[in-house]
């Protein structure tokens, strides 16, 4: 058996731990393990590397992905899907281990009807896949965000400023909500709900009247101001149709100052929270996923994703996992309730 491993979309903590565990498990069964470089790009134009446990044994703590990644979508290229299938055959790959989020797994799911055999692993710091308790990469991102925001807090407190921290999260505000709660944010803003500037400013004004000029706002990049004159959505789209989101932090900071007279500063955490060494949780979780994915391939399973349910790693249909998972309104309300 020959298994190809690819990672696509944004990187996050834990991908290398997963690759390491998968290679380890594959070798146990005598399988040949092949790394595909730059996600689907490495199958559109074959770019592969042979992987032995010796190659990967020391990468459990490394951030990023040794296989590199891209947002290449074979369906955006004339004859792309056919090329991928042709190359899978040419490379002699019996099955793929697809490490990705909604976009990367979506491609694999579509290719399944053309005969692709694969098992997917839920990779994304955004935590926006369904049918799993959590995606790997999320815990690492939240921990780095919390460490950074704790630092933003002390300088903000000292200068009696409103500090606006912008974190990644295009369609779901998981990182903003978790980091916001963990850091004691007074305002938490997520894409799940349009931002009401009057409400935001009333929290800040109330605190100001109580003698507290410092406030902490944590906003997901995908949070949108209702009736904003300035768009935070870039014009350029990636191959999966996603725009680059930019500027909600800056917009909020300037609006806050204009409306309340409070001094405000914005900090964009961006890629800082996606890179770097994964958390211990993600290292262990990704290791379990990698081993389980190879076991499922061995059992002949396909078009399924390894997932965490309580203490167990199980398999779920990819089609179900791809349903976007949003932050519940009750969790968002809890996060927003500390602005007193």
Residue 151's Cβ-count burial label (10 Å; 0-12, 13-18, 19+) is exposed
Least Å from the CB of residue 57 to ligand F6P: 27
Which region among 19-27, 165-173, 189-197, 318-326 touches ligand F6P (by CB under 6 A)? Answer: 165-173
Least Å from the CB of residue 146 to ligand F6P: 17
By beta-carbon proximity to ligand F6P, the closer residue of 41 and 125 is 125
Say how far apart CA 327 and CA 335 lie, in whole Å.
11
Start-to-end CA distance of the chain, whole Å, equals 60
* Residues in 243-272 that interact with ligand F6P by CB under 6 A: 245
CA distances from 323 to 74, 178, 246, 289, 320 (A): 21, 21, 25, 20, 6
Least Å from the CB of residue 266 to ligand F6P: 17
Which region among 44-52, 162-170, 257-265, 277-285 touches ligand F6P (by CB under 6 A)? Answer: 162-170
By beta-carbon proximity to ligand F6P, the closer residue of 3 and 245 is 245
* Residues in 122-141 that interact with ligand F6P by CB under 6 A: 124-126
* Residues in 227-246 that interact with ligand F6P by CB under 6 A: 245
Least Å from the CB of residue 335 to ligand F6P: 18
Least Å from the CB of residue 62 to ligand F6P: 18
Q: 308: which 2 tokens?
A: 């965490």
Q: 215: which 2 tokens?
A: 């406030």
Q: Residue 339: which residues within 8 A CB-CB, separation 6 or more?
A: 185, 186, 187, 203, 206, 207, 215
Say how far apart CA 108 and CA 303 lie, in whole Å.
8
Which region among 119-127, 206-214, 255-263, 302-310 touches ligand F6P (by CB under 6 A)? Answer: 119-127
Question: Which position among 4, 8, 10, 13 is part of the footprint of ligand F6P (CB under 6 A)?
Answer: 10
In terms of DSSP bridges, do strands 312-317 and 304-309 run parallel, antiparallel, or are they unpaired?
A: antiparallel
Catalytic residue among 126, 128, 282, 303: 126
Task: Say if CB 190 and CB 223 are below 8 A apart.
Answer: yes
By beta-carbon proximity to ligand F6P, the closer residue of 118 and 138 is 138
Task: Say if CB 220 and CB 169 are below 8 A apart.
Answer: yes
Which region among 40-48, 167-175, 197-205, 327-335 touches ligand F6P (by CB under 6 A)? Answer: 167-175
Least Å from the CB of residue 136 to ligand F6P: 12
- Please indicate whether residue 55 is annotated as part of the active site: no
Give the Cα-Cα-Cα angle 177, 185, 272 (nearest 5 degrees).
65
Say how far apart CA 62 and CA 286 lie, in whole Å.
12
Q: 105: which 2 tokens?
A: 């797994």
Which region among 76-84, 163-171, 184-192, 319-327 touches ligand F6P (by CB under 6 A)? Answer: 163-171
By beta-carbon proximity to ligand F6P, the closer residue of 1 and 233 is 233
Say how far apart CA 155 and CA 162 lie, in whole Å.
10
Question: Which position among 24, 77, 153, 170 is part of the footprint of ligand F6P (CB under 6 A)?
Answer: 170
For residues 118-129, one letter each, b for 16 or more C-beta atoms within 10 angstroms of the residue's C-beta and e for the rest, the string is bbbbbbbbbbbb
Question: Which position among 169, 180, 191, 290 is part of the footprint of ligand F6P (CB under 6 A)?
Answer: 169
What residue ranges bind ligand F6P (CB under 6 A)?
9-10, 124-126, 168-170, 221, 245, 274
- Which active-site residues does the annotation give? 126
């Amino acid at each position: 058996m020959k298994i190809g491993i690819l990672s696509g979309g944004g990187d996050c903590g834990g991908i290398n731990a997963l690759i390491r565990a998968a290679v380890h498990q594959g070798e146990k069964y005598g399988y040949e393990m092949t790394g595909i470089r730059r996600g689907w790009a490495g199958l559109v134009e074959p770019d592969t590397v042979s992987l032995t446990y010796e190659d990967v044994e020391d990468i459990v703590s490394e951030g990023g992905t040794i296989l590199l990644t891209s947002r290449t979508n074979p369906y955006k290229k004339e004859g792309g899907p056919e090329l991928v299938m042709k190359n899978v055959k040419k490379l002699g790959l019996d099955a793929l281990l697809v490490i990705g989020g909604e976009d990367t797994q979506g491609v694999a799911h579509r290719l399944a009807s053309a005969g692709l055999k694969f098992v997917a692993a839920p990779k994304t710091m955004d935590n926006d896949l369904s049918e799993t308790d959590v995606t790997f990469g999320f815990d690492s991102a939240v921990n780095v965000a919390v460490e950074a925001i704790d630092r933003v807090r002390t300088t903000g407190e000292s200068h009696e400023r409103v500090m606006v921290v912008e974190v990644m999260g295009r369609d779901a505000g998981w990182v903003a909500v978790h980091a916001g709660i963990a850091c004691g944010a007074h305002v938490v803003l997520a894409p799940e709900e349009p931002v009401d500037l009057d409400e935001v400013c009333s929290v800040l004004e109330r605190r100001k009247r109580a003698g507290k000029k410092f406030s902490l706002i944590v906003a997901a990049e995908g949070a949108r101001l209702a009736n904003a004159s300035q768009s935070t959505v870039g014009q350029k789209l990636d191959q999966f149709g996603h725009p680059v989101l930019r500027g909600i932090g800056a917009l909020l900071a300037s609006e806050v100052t204009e409306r309340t007279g409070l001094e405000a500063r914005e900090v964009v955490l961006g890629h800082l929270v996606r890179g770097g060494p994964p958390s211990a949780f993600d290292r262990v979780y990704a290791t379990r996923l990698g081993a389980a994915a190879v076991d499922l391939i061995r059992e002949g399973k396909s078009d399924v994703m390894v997932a965490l349910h309580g203490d167990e790693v199980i398999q779920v249909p990819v089609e179900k996992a791809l349903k976007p998972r949003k932050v519940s309104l009750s969790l968002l309300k809890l996060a927003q309730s500390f602005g007193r």
